[in-house]
A and B are shown apart, each in its own frame.
Chain A
């Protein structure tokens, strides 16, 4: 089991609402990446944060935003929720940026949008 934790475990929201998901990285890791995984699909890269700055972004609209704090924990915020946002949201921490290191994943947050 990795040292990456995510909260909450499950969340139910209605369309148009806003949501904040949280991730605590593994000790010593300064990089956090967020992924969206729809049922039966592989994870899709949302963005990465390295030392509190966004360091790469996938093909997601601006209503998906994030933060990284001085202790390297991170938040994913999604505004104006849509039904298609219902997915498992995963965060992964790594020792450094550059996507060359092993990524350690948390257990995920299951978001359901009604």
Chain B
């Protein structure tokens, strides 16, 4: 069974700092990996989707990389802002369902 782990579980940084969130998965046979953002008590917002044949995707201040062979992905956030405070989740799919990590709770301090 696919296991998805996210480290760290929580992170607190001052505004303006660049940061990296990590996601690892145990089975490299995946179709894609998605990064999501979740605000407290709310649904998930898709940030980036990386297909298994891709190495990275960028959107604005966000950059996600994928190393399928090692079972790892990183989400890089540049010049963090207080509005980036949320829980960030990664999810992988081998084709039959999505498997989510437990998330990294990010707090950006003004």
Contacts and interface: CB of A to CB of B under 8 A. Distances in A.
Interface of A: 2, 4, 6, 33, 35, 40-45, 48, 56, 58, 88, 90, 92, 98-100, 102-108, 110
Contacts of A88: 41
B43 A103 contact: no
Nearest to B102: A42
Contact of B93 (A2, A99, A107): A99
B28 interface: no
20 contacts: A2-B43, A2-B45, A33-B97, A35-B98, A35-B100, A41-B102, A42-B100, A42-B101, A42-B102, A43-B44, A43-B98, A44-B100, A58-B97, A90-B43, A100-B51, A103-B98, A105-B43, A105-B44, A105-B45, A107-B42
Given A42-B100, A42-B101, A43-B100, A99 B42 contact: no
Contacts, number: 66
Interface of B: 4, 31-32, 34, 36, 41-46, 49, 51, 89, 91, 93, 95-103
A42 B99 CA distance: 9
B46 to A, nearest CB: 5
